[in-house]
Amino acid sequence: MRTFQQISALRAYLRNLRQDKKTIGFVPTMGALHAGHLSLVQRSKGDCDITVLSLFVNPAQFAPTEDLSKYPRELNRDMQLTSNADVDAVFLPEIEEMYPSGFQTWVGVTELSKPLEGEHRPTHYQGVATIVTKLLNIVQPDIAYFGQKDYQQFLVVERMVRDLNIPSAIQMVATVREADGLAMSSRNVYLSPEERTAATLLNRLIGIASERVQQGEPNPLTLKQDLERVMSQEPLAELDYVALVHPDTLQPVTGLQEEATLLTLAIKIGKTRLIDNALLVPEGIPLPRPRISKPI
Ligand code: AMP
């Protein structure tokens, strides 16, 4: 496995591979890797000749009040995991390599960044869109892989790639969960044992909502209120939002039985903020196709 800290060295390595007609898959991460990240790697290795993974805790996507300084950093373990997973190249730039002094160009995806996470983290997606643009420009992958776990992030990146004519396909990969249903996340290490148990609430809410929609519940407001009621019974959980939205536009839906609806949830358990989501598919409606955007 090759490791690169310099953009120029990574570019030189990839240029040679491209000349040899190798296809390149790319998995951007902030490290503290887990099986969710590794499922993106597996997908890339299945689709592409070469897999590049980046490890970069991007300061621009954290607000000053958020957990940038204590975000888990486990470089040795990450290198072991990527090497075991047969990643071809790891890109781990220093902050100055990505944001040199004088940096002043930002990418904003105006509408899709506004609702849901955007309401609670107003500068987050500008940070995400900017770093992903830079990484895609550096790596120039055939396909870049993103988790469904961060569904809104996927939509923001998909829109940005289309709007800016970035010549990479963007592939969504299903959320990987712990045995009890908690979505894997680098932030799960913050949870105390009691909080970890309470965190299964998210997956319980998804289960309740999926069942209700399959049983024919037509009304998003009724379902939302019922989910909020279940949530209020968990003393360790504090609600950020429960939303039932269209999976392409993220706008609230008016019915639940016409097509698939995206349920998206954010809660705080103690100091830890957790998000999760699922597509709710009514009986008789086919599952939406897995999402991949083709370069135009
Ligand atoms: P992060 O390191 O949190 O920025 O995540 C890097 C990539 O891994 C993003 O595309 C995430 O959506 C994806 N990811 C994180 N957790 C999971 C999970 N449990 N299952 C699948 N993908 C995930």
Domain ranges of the chain: 2-173, 186-280
Ligand 1: which atom is nearest the Cα of residue 175? 20
Name residues whose C-beta falls within 8 Å of residue 69's C-beta, 6 or more positions apart in sequence: none
Ligand 1: which atom is nearest the Cα of residue 184? 19
Measured from CB, residues less than 6 Å from any atom of ligand 1 are 29-30, 36-37, 39-40, 146-147, 149-150, 173, 175-176, 183-186
pTM for this predicted structure? 0.98
pLDDT tens sequence across 98-107: 999 999 999 9
At 196 the three-state DSSP class reads helix
Q: Which residue's CA is minimally distant from atom 5 of ligand 1? A: 29
Give residue 296's pLDDT. Answer: 53
Q: Is 124 a catalytic residue?
A: no
Enumerate residue ranges in the chain where pLDDT < 70: 295-296
Ligand 1: which atom is nearest the Cα of residue 153? 12
Say whether 186-280 and 2-173 share the same fold: no
Task: Tell me the CA–centroid distance for residue 175 and ligand 1, in Å.
Answer: 8
Give residue 235's pLDDT. Answer: 97
Give residue 186's pLDDT. Answer: 96
CATH number, span 2-173:
3.40.50.620
Report d(CA 275, CA 94) in Å as an integer.
28
pLDDT averaged over every residue in the chain:
97
pLDDT tens sequence across 160-202: 999 999 999 999 999 999 999 999 999 999 999 999 999 999 9
Give residue 32's pLDDT. Answer: 97
Give residue 290's pLDDT. Answer: 74
Helix axes 7-19, 124-139, angle to 10 degrees: 50
Please give the CATH topology (third level) of the domain spanning 186-280: Pantoate--beta-alanine Ligase; Chain: A,domain 2 (3.30.1300)
Active-site hit among 37, 120, 124, 246? 37
Task: Tell me the CA–centroid distance for residue 41 and ligand 1, in Å.
Answer: 11
Report d(CA 35, CA 171) in Å as an integer.
17
How are strands ordered across the β-sheet holding 24-29? 2-4, 89-91, 50-55, 24-29, 143-147, 169-173, 292-293
At 76 the three-state DSSP class reads helix
| Closest of 244, 240, 232 to residue 201, by C-alpha | 232
Q: Which residue's CA is minimally distant from atom 17 of ligand 1? A: 36
* N-terminal to C-terminal alpha carbon distance within the chain: 32
Task: Tell me the CA–centroid distance for residue 106 and ligand 1, in Å.
Answer: 23
Q: Which two tokens stand for residue 20?
A: 């040899």
